[in-house]
Amino acid sequence: MKWSLTIARAFGIQIRVHFTFFLLLLWIVVEARAAAGWGAAMWGVVFIVATFTCVVLHELGHSVVAQRFGIKVSSITLLPIGGVAALRSIPQKPAHEMAITVAGPLVNVLIFAVLYVVYCWAPDRVPYFPGLVLMPGLPTDWGELTGVLLLVNKWMIVFNLIPAYPMDGGRLLRAVLAQWLPYPRATAIAATIGQVIAGVFILYGLWEPGWIMLAIIGVLIFLAAGAEEKTVRLRDALQHVQVGRVMTPVFVAVGPDDAAGGCAPWIFQRGQDDFPVMADGRLLGMLTQSAVLEAARRNGSVRAAELMMTSFSSTRPDAPVAEVHDSMQASGQRTVPVMEDGRLVGLLTFDNINRYFMTRSAGAAKDGAQT
């Protein structure tokens, strides 16, 4: 995910923090300090960091089990609304999806149990529903912090099991439905139920004062359900399609000494976003759209070799498009070079895949209308 900073690595998975998370920390510090000084601000930061540590452990629960089933996980990204684990492919068996989904809430159950033991033995423990003094919603000592984290984990368990796809409960529902229905159909039903629940969140959040965050979460769930349902339909349509049928065989390539900014007109005239950098028929690197536009703004004479990306994935014409698409989504690589016998024979982009999907969907709809 763009605008994210890697802060750690666990089980081979990058732990990343989106820049908006730091805005949340800043907001907590400003509000807490204004309410009760720097002491409250400190506890606010401790509370947020502790809460999101629980979120990371929740996502690691999903990720480690996914890895046990052979699914690669590239990163976990922290956002103000929670965490996102980037699985490079979708579980193919409903039983695997169930295990992966349940692992997250089970981690919170374990955290809850450990915190409860600590809480019961804390020397300065406070009532289970602590009356907070410095600032409403923030702990003021380690005993209160433990009590609040107990509540946080309890609600993480309950909230995640609501059957609002793509939340954990919705994924469990999809996995159950997939025992008897085709995967795309099971996803469509789970996504529809998720969007209905999201609509309830939105209405309640807008109606009740102080619940605006629930409305925001509802909007995100509604959009995510639709996006994931489309992704599943796309993957199903591409399941048995090879890269060679979808790739662009005609493209613009540049040399390492060519001016990077000189590619800018091709972005607008041909719609090509990224450019292979080649010498003597060999692929040396990829010049991304952002690098081209930055070079054009600064100094159009900067050499392509100075800005090209040398670490990237490539594929073959006979590779399944669905697998390459999953990898592109997980890595954020928008253009994948297609190599055959050491030669660059084409480029595969999200636009290629989406156009193929829309053309195929339109053809299927036309055939259905004629029958």
Please report the DSSP string for 72-140 in residue order.
-EEEEEEETTEEEEEESS--SSHHHHHHHHHHHHHHHHHHHHHHHHHHHH-TT---SS---SSSTT---
Q: How far apart are CA 359 and CA 368, in angstroms?
A: 14
The string of pLDDT tens digits covering residues 232-281 is: 888 888 878 999 999 999 899 999 998 888 888 888 888 888 999 999 88
Residue 198: strand, helix, or coil: helix
Q: Return the pLDDT at 45.
A: 79
Does pTM top 0.85 for this prediction?
no
- Among 29-38, 39-48, 93-102, 158-167, whose mean pLDDT is lowest? 29-38
> Quick one: which of 17, 22, 25 has its CA closest to 76?
17
Q: Return the pLDDT at 222.
A: 94
The string of pLDDT tens digits covering residues 38-91 is: 766 777 778 888 888 999 999 999 999 999 998 888 889 888 777 888 887 778
Q: Return the pLDDT at 65.
A: 95
Domains of the chain: 1-161 (no CATH), 165-233 (no CATH), 243-359 (3.10.580.10)
* Count of residues making up the chain: 371
Q: Which two tokens stand for residue 107?
A: 């981690």
Q: Is the dihedral of CA 119, 120, 122, 126 positive or negative?
A: positive
- Among 67-76, 78-87, 139-148, 325-334, whose mean pLDDT is lowest? 139-148
Mean confidence (pLDDT) of the chain: 84
Q: Which residues contact 319 (CB under 8 A, 6 or more apart)?
A: 242, 243
Q: Which residues contact 317 (CB under 8 A, 6 or more apart)?
A: 242, 243, 244, 247, 338, 340, 345, 346
Residues paired with 86 in a beta bridge: 75
| Strand segments (E) across the chain | 4-10, 13-18, 73-79, 82-87, 275-279, 282-287, 335-340, 343-349
Q: Return the pLDDT at 140.
A: 53
Average pLDDT over residues 159-171: 92
Q: Which two tokens stand for residue 169?
A: 């409960």
